[in-house]
Each structure stands twice: as structure tokens, then as C-alpha cells.
Amino acid sequence: MLRSARHAKILELISHKEIETQEELCSELNALNHAVTQATVSRDIRDLHLFKVAGIEKKYRYAYINDGESEISPKMKSLFRDCVVFVKAAKNLVVVKTLTGNGANAGAVVDKLSYEGIVGSVAGDDTLLIVCETDESALEIVEKINEFMK
């Protein structure tokens, strides 16, 4: 199966079903006669920038941000606002503390915001660490994030 067709099928699946794990996604694709391995699905999840959000039927489910949109959707802004506990600068670093399981979600939103002065970021389970060019730019990023959450 071509990568682009597989990616389209994955996006279709996660938009219609709550899929919580890579194994579930692999099973769904295989059931549709698209032979894939867990390693392939893992790469696809990374390539598509999928992340997990709270599910209705399951604890978590895969979701994505449409890169074709120039702005963050109100749903993503609300998710960000609801999951962030605090934002704090420490020299040229910004620490964004989130509810458990939401570090990557916060990272996806901050990446999409494309604030000037950010060198990169690393997301964990409940923390997003943002590396800034200078101590001053870290303070500016904290202000921008706090303003974004209003």
C-alpha cells in the first residue's frame, strides 16, 4: 500500500473510530486488507503528528491537527487551555506543566503557533520543555502562551 493512501486511511479511521493503541490501528488496517506492521504504524503516527486526547468510550484516542489550517481550531485551543496547569520561564527555557498524558498535545499546539524565539521543544507525559534563543525570549514566550490561553 502506498504511504499516502495508508495515511489517508489512518486519518479516516481515527476520525470515525476511537482508536487507543498502535496495535488497534494495525488491526483495523489489516482488517481492511492493508497489510501493515506495528513498526509501520508507529512511523505513520509520527509522520502524521498524531497525538492522544481523552476519549468518550475509551480512555484515550488518536487525533490530529489539520496542517492545512492556518490557525489553531477552537477545539485545540480549548484542549490546550484545559490541559495546561502552569507556564514558567527558567533562564532560556519555558516549562509548560500539563495534566497527565497531555505534554505531547501541548507540544503540538505550541509547534503550530510557530512563535519566534523558540529553538525547539521536547514533550513528556505531563510536561513540555521549550528551548528559547535567549532568557528574554523565554519571558516573551511565557507571555504569549498566557495570552493565547485567555
CATH 3.40.640.10 for the 74-148 domain, yes or no: no
- Give pLDDT tens digits for 110-150: 988 889 999 999 999 999 999 999 999 999 999 999 999 88
What pTM, to 2 d.p., does this model score? Answer: 0.60
pLDDT, tens only, 42-101:
999 988 888 888 778 888 888 876 544 446 777 778 888 989 999 999 999 999 999 988
**Apex 138 CA angle, 136 and 144, nearest 5:** 105
**Res 142: pLDDT:** 97
pLDDT at site 68: 44
Pick the CATH number of 3-63 from 1.10.10.10, 3.40.640.10, 3.10.560.10, 3.40.50.2020: 1.10.10.10
- Mean pLDDT rounded to a whole number for the chain: 89
Measured CA to CA in angstroms, residue 82 lies from 60, 90, 149 at distances of 16, 23, 9
Asked if 66 and 14 touch (Cβ cutoff 8 Å), the reply is: no
